[in-house]
Amino acid sequence: MGFAEQVSLDLDRVEFRDWGETVTYTPSGGDAQSITAIVLRQEQEVEPTENGLEIRRRVPVKLMISDVASPARGDAISFPVKAGGTAVAWNVLGDPHVPGDGTATITAYRREPQEKSAEGHRLDI
């Protein structure tokens, strides 16, 4: 490993130490494991459906290839919707982005029921 690769790996370790959180990753057909990942909640996309009865969330999650060698569509990951909350299950959507620096970014996807007020107006979650 060259100097540039080592510096990049060291910076990733610092990033995961400072901003990472424990999540549960379950490969399709495999066993669940606790890993450290960076959940990019500030980038989540909320998409109301036409009837307003559910929202669909997509959240980028960065993980270390040393923890999950082959992240793939159909795998599952569990973490809270909001930091500090209760973990919920998400599906891995599409192929991961693997930039070659020892990390991968996956897209976690979740559908959630949308509540309505007594007047029938949609309440944003």
Distance of CA 2 to the CA centre of its chain: 30
pLDDT of residue 14: 82
Residue 66 neighbours by CB under 8 Å, 6+ apart: 102
At 100 the pLDDT is: 87
Low-confidence ranges of the chain (pLDDT < 70): 1-12, 43-45, 47-54, 113-125
Contact (CB, 8 A) for 90 and 37: no
Residue ranges of domains in the chain = 3-113
Query: What's residue 84's pLDDT?
Result: 86
Q: Mean pLDDT over all residues of the chain? A: 82
The arrangement of secondary structure in 3-113, i.e. its CATH architecture, is Beta Barrel (2.40)
